[in-house]
Homo-oligomer: A and B are copies of this chain.
Amino acid sequence: MESSSLVSFCQLSNILAPKKVHNYRPLLKQRTSPSTTTLQCHKMYVPGFGEASPEAKAAKHLHDFFTYVAVRIVHSQLESYNEEAYAEMVEFLETHSLSDGGDNFVADLLRQSSTHKTLALRILEVRSAYCKNDFEWDNLKRLSIKMVEERNTKVMRDYVTETSTVNTETETETETET
């Protein structure tokens, strides 16, 4: 019941949202070759990003993430080999948040004192090295695609399970009455 309902949902989606919509592009944003005047992009139109492409927007989020990762790396390294600097880092983290943007955090750290300045420079160095050499970009793509597929299935499965349960209860009540 469940798998056939899932299949029927997919078919329903295909019928009511024909494949041509996938290629419907009222306006095309040319993101890789701005100098050409002939628009030949076969991708879906993504509105609402202003001057930044979706990739640039995602890069901005990742930038803050890399700063967070760099802070964690440096924090861990200090804990192992430099107690004094570690204590300063911990104290600074208690009063300064990364949620306003990693650059503001690092800029404040840079201005705190000469020893804090060293930590700030270290964080800048680590985030650069991390995103270039350590972060597994292919793995990110693979995990992202996998996550979307799994979550799509889950959303539909939860819905089918819920509606199936409701239907079963309704049928049971009807049988009881007759």
Please report A residues at the B interface, Cβ cutoff 8 Å. Answer: 9-10, 12-13, 16-17, 21-22, 24, 26, 31-32, 43-48, 53-63, 65-66, 69, 72-73, 75-77, 80-81, 103, 106-107, 110-111, 118, 120-122, 124-137, 139-141, 143-145, 147-149, 151-152, 154-156, 158-159, 162
Q: Closest CB-CB distance, A165 to chain B, in whole Å?
A: 13
Q: Closest CB-CB distance, A119 to chain B, in whole Å?
A: 9
User: Are the CB atoms of B59 and A45 closer together than 8 Å?
Assistant: no
User: Are the CB atoms of A144 and B63 closer together than 8 Å?
Assistant: yes
Query: Which residue of the partner chain B has the closest CB to A126?
Result: B44
**Residues of chain B lying within 8 A (CB to CB) of residue A65:** 54, 57-58, 61
Most-contacted residue by chain B among A60, A62, A106, A154 (CB, 10 A)? A62
Residue A45 contacts which of B46, B73, B154, B155 (CB distance < 8 angstroms)? B73
User: Are the CB atoms of A13 and B125 closer together than 8 Å?
Assistant: yes
User: Are the CB atoms of A118 and B16 closer together than 8 Å?
Assistant: yes
Contacts A155-B110, A159-B107 given; indicate if A45 touches B76 (C-beta within 8 A).
yes
